[in-house]
């Protein structure tokens, strides 16, 4: 057994940031319509808020949030 490799637990701020980011993302996506003719504007705002909260609270490592924009842009491009 490898007992030297123990992952540190998340802080309360990181846990709160993870949940707050997802909550803001879903609220923006479901209840906000920034430009009625262009739903992509609201979707990208939701992703931007998710990324900002995750960066500020360090909820996840710093590398993945920038890729959220690329991932969601490809999913919603139409």
pLDDT tens profile 22-50:
999 999 999 999 999 999 899 889 989 99
pTM above 0.75, yes or no: no
The pair of three-digit structure tokens given for residue 57, joined into one six-digit string = 């609270």
The pair of three-digit structure tokens given for residue 46, joined into one six-digit string = 């939701």
- Which pLDDT band, with edges at 50, 70 and 90, does 55 fall under? confident
- Give helix 39-57 / helix 12-31 axis angle, nearest 10°: 170
- Which pLDDT band, with edges at 50, 70 and 90, does 62 fall under? low
Q: Which residues contact 41 (CB under 8 A, 6 or more apart)?
A: 34, 35
Domain residue spans in the chain?
12-76
Element (H, E) at 41: helix 39-57
Q: According to the model, what pLDDT value does residue 59 have?
A: 83
Element (H, E) at 16: helix 12-31
């Amino acid at each position: 057994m490898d007992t030297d490799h123990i992952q540190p637990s998340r802080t309360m701020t990181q846990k709160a940031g993870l949940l707050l980011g997802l909550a803001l993302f879903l609220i923006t996506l479901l209840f906000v319509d920034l430009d009625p003719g262009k739903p992509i504007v609201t979707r990208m705002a939701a992703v931007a808020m998710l990324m900002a909260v995750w960066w500020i609270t360090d909820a996840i490592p710093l590398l993945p949030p920038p890729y959220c924009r690329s991932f969601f842009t490809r999913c919603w491009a139409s």
